[in-house]
């Protein structure tokens, strides 16, 4: 859970493999050899698919997606070959931040259904051989939560469940915020509570009060929450907003100015050295992972914990030490029109810094990030999907990216995201996360098959009558959905699970690499440029058999033997070639 401004502030360390004049060092192109003997658990070999529940499928006509709607479409994941569903929050909530403001960690919000519905979902997911991980939202709760109400009253053990401070008294007697800390959603991170007569800290919206992990009772409550959902059969957790879990104890400290050219009210105006990535966070995460691992030891069923942490390689590696996996968001933070060199460098930043024995992961989109079609252009969706699903490491797909969904056009009047609303009508488009959350497009019919109701909680994307699951399934031509399904199937090959990743060519437009095992070898050729590329013999092979190709490639077809010197790839096109086994 991040606002757009917070995402823009994060700089990742990049290590380029190119000469000063921009020419690739062909004699030292990267090569990565995974350990082929490691245990391949389901979360290593599989594909994770993020469901944003409000937007996936509505069963009761209120225009908001729900658990029963998700259950009704579980066979879609079987069709795609997906292994694991990551379900964004369905906890009880006043929905000021659409589920990330939890008011009861152990109940389902009526908008989404009931605990019994969740139990049915878990059972139906497992009946299909799939896995289910849920969002764990540990940093904050809604101010509607019973804990917060009791803390306001200083009620027993709850008194210090939150970050309270009496404020700073000026020479004229006025009481003001204890420091200059800023919220990720803009403005001061401190909110005055008139009943308690103190300020409370909120990293996000004022309705989301940060929890105080220096309180032992609070830590126990959160550990008990994990056990509750594990007892209900979930296969793991995605840990939300981990970086701000702890703050420094001395809240009189002002954070330094970042030097970025942004308004003084925006989060990026400060360097968040006192409110993110504090050293106490890692031991707390280790405890959570140990709890999950107790269940693994108990029943032998492997579980997965992946952590949202936007930060440097060093911070990610600290997460790896706990046993959990840090999300790698590097591909989300590339330039608007990345070259092949930048894309490869971003990939190698993950591989080259990966601790020994750990497993990488990649993600191209989520509920806080603009869709691929918006960031790079709709013509590049297929080539990015091909990249994501052929790399070594666990891929995570955001719902709708397998279709190439465009974003909805959201007016100020239709904006509901607090990050956008807080920015005001003149600047909301720089911060709102609504466009990437539009309803899933199932059919060309009424409301795109998302709901039978009269309205949808967010507007549908304008192209929903032509770009939807039904249309792409039934098309006689290759489609984004069909390609995605083919790519998921190819990932079952050993070459794409533990095969060597070896770059054979890279330039401003093209990235070519092989995935090689003792049993199968493939060459992946991707054109991220702005014009057609021909004579692809530069990628290190003369001829091969086409295993998969993006829609619109006319110079060859699947199953055909092709001479690479005659192969033409237009902008945004890609192809996977099966190479002859070397003898």
Instruction: Supply the pLDDT for residue 322.
Output: 97
Segment 69-89 shows an average pLDDT of: 98
Segment 470-494 shows an average pLDDT of: 97
* Dihedral sign (CA 22, 26, 28, 29): positive
Q: Which of 538, 541, 543, 546 is nearest to 507 (CA)?
A: 538
Q: Return d(Cα 334, Cα 312) in angstroms, integer.
A: 14
Tokens of 151: 């803390």
Are the C-beta atoms of 524 and 512 separated by less than 8 Å?
A: yes
Q: Return d(Cα 84, Cα 133) in angstroms, integer.
A: 7
Mean pLDDT is lowest, of 33-37, 181-185, 467-471, for 33-37
Instruction: Supply the pLDDT for residue 23.
Output: 44
Q: State the pLDDT confidence band at 312, using cuts at 50, 70 and 90.
A: confident
Q: Return d(Cα 273, Cα 281) in angstroms, integer.
A: 14
Segment 40-46 shows an average pLDDT of: 96
Percent of the chain with pLDDT strictly greater than 90: 89
Q: What is the mean pLDDT of the chain?
A: 93
Tokens of 480: 């984004």
Given a cut of 50, whether residue 151 has pLDDT beyond it is: yes
Angstrom distances, CA of residue 30 to CA of 18, 107, 331, 349: 11, 48, 18, 11
Mean pLDDT is lowest, of 34-38, 60-64, 126-130, 220-224, for 34-38
Segment 177-186 shows an average pLDDT of: 96
Q: State the pLDDT confidence band at 36, using cuts at 50, 70 and 90.
A: confident
Map residue 282 onto helix, strand or coil: helix
Q: State the pLDDT confidence band at 583, using cuts at 50, 70 and 90.
A: very low
Segment 76-97 shows an average pLDDT of: 98
Given a cut of 50, whether residue 9 has pLDDT beyond it is: no
Given a cut of 90, whether residue 27 has pLDDT beyond it is: no
Q: State the pLDDT confidence band at 11, using cuts at 50, 70 and 90.
A: very low
This prediction has a pTM of 0.94
Given a cut of 90, whether residue 24 has pLDDT beyond it is: no
Tokens of 295: 């269940």
Cβ neighbours of residue 390 under 8 Å, at least 6 residues apart?
Answer: 487, 490, 491, 496, 515, 522, 524, 576
Give the residue, 5 or 539, on which the prediction is more confident.
Answer: 539
128: how many CB neighbours lie within 10 A of its CB? Answer: 13
Q: At what angle do helices 340-353 and 313-321 cross, to 10 degrees?
A: 40
Q: State the pLDDT confidence band at 462, using cuts at 50, 70 and 90.
A: confident
Q: Return d(Cα 340, Cα 344) in angstroms, integer.
A: 6
pLDDT in tens, 344-360: 999 999 999 999 999 99
Q: State the pLDDT confidence band at 582, using cuts at 50, 70 and 90.
A: low
Percent helix, percent strand, percent coil in the chain, to nearest 5: 30, 20, 50
Paired with 398 in beta bridges are 50
Q: Return d(Cα 114, Cα 207) in angstroms, integer.
A: 24
User: Which of the 8 DSSP states describes residue 398?
Assistant: E
The H or E element spanning position 506 is strand 500-506
pLDDT in tens, 375-428: 999 999 999 999 999 999 999 999 999 999 999 999 999 999 999 998 999 999
Query: CA angle, corner 185, sides to 184 and 187, nearest 5?
Result: 95
Percent of the chain with pLDDT strictly greater than 70: 95
Tokens of 225: 């929450």
* Dihedral sign (CA 361, 367, 368, 374): positive
Query: What is the DSSP code string of 179-224?
Result: S--B-TTSSBSEEEETTTTEEEE-SS-TTEEEB-TTSHHHHHHHHH
Are the C-beta atoms of 59 and 462 separated by less than 8 Å?
A: no
Give the residue, 190 or 23, on which the prediction is more confident.
Answer: 190
Segment 321-349 shows an average pLDDT of: 94
């Amino acid at each position: 859970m991040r606002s757009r401004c917070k995402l823009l502030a994060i700089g990742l360390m990049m290590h380029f493999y190119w000469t000063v004049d921009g020419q690739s060092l062909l004699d030292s192109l990267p090569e990565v050899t995974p350990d082929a003997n490691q245990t391949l658990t389901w979360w290593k070999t599989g594909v994770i698919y993020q469901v944003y529940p409000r937007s996936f499928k509505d069963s009761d006509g209120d225009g908001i997606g729900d658990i029963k709607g998700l259950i009704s479409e579980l066979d879609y994941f079987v069709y795609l070959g997906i292994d694991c569903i990551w379900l964004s929050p369905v906890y009880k909530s006043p929905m000021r931040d659409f589920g990330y403001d939890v008011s009861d960690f152990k109940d389902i919000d009526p908008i989404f259904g009931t605990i019994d519905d969740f139990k049915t979902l878990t059972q139906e997911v497992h009946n299909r051989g799939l896995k289910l991980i849920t969002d764990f939202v540990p940093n904050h709760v809604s101010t509607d939560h019973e804990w917060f109400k009791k803390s306001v009253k200083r009620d027993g053990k709850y008194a210090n469940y939150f970050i309270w401070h009496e404020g700073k008294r000026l020479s004229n007697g006025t009481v003001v915020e204890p420091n200059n800390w800023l919220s990720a959603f803009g403005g001061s991170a401190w909110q005055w509570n008139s009943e308690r007569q103190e300020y409370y800290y909120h990293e996000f919206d004022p309705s989301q009060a940060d929890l105080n992990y220096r309180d032992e009772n609070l830590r126990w409550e959160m550990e008990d929450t994990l056990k509750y959902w594990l007892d209900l059969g979930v296969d793991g957790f995605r840990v939300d907003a981990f970086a701000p879990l702890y703050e420094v104890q001395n809240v009189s400290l002002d954070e330094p100015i970042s030097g970025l050219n942004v308004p003084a009210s925006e989060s990026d105006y400060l360097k968040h050295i006192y409110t993110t990535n504090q050293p106490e966070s890692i031991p707390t995460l280790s405890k959570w992972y140990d709890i999950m691992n107790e269940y693994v030891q108990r029943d032998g069923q492997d579980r997965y914990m992946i952590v949202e942490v936007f930060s440097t390689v060093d911070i990610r590696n600290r997460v790896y030490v706990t046993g959990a996996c840090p999300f790698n968001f590097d591909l989300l933070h590339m330039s608007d029109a990345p070259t092949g060199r930048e894309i490869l460098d971003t990939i190698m930043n993950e591989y080259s810094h990966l601790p020994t024995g750990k497993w990488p992961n990649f993600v191209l989109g989520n509920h806080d990030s603009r869709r691929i079609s918006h960031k790079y252009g709709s013509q590049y969706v297929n080539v990015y999907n091909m990249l994501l699903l052929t790399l070594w490491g666990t891929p995570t797909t955001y719902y709708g990216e397998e279709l190439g969904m465009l974003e909805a056009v959201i007016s100020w009047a239709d904006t509901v995201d607090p990050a956008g609303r807080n920015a005001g009508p003149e600047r909301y488009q720089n911060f709102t996360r609504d466009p990437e959350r539009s309803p899933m497009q199932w059919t060309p019919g009424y409301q795109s098959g998302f709901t039978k109701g009269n309205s949808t909680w967010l507007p549908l994307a304008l192209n929903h009558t032509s770009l939807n699951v039904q249309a792409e399934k039934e098309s006689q031509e290759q489609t984004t959905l069909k390609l995605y399904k083919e790519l998921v199937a190819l990932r079952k090959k050993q070459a794409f699970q533990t095969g060597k990743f070896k770059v054979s060519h890279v330039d401003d437009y093209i990235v070519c690499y092989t995935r090689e095992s003792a049993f199968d070898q493939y060459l992946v050729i991707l054109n991220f440029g702005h014009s057609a590329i021909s004579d692809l013999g530069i990628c290190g092979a003369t001829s091969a058999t086409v295993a998969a190709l993006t829609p619109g490639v006319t110079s060859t077809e699947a199953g055909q033997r092709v001479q690479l010197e005659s192969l033409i790839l237009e902008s945004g096109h890609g192809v996977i070639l099966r190479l002859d086994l070397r003898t």
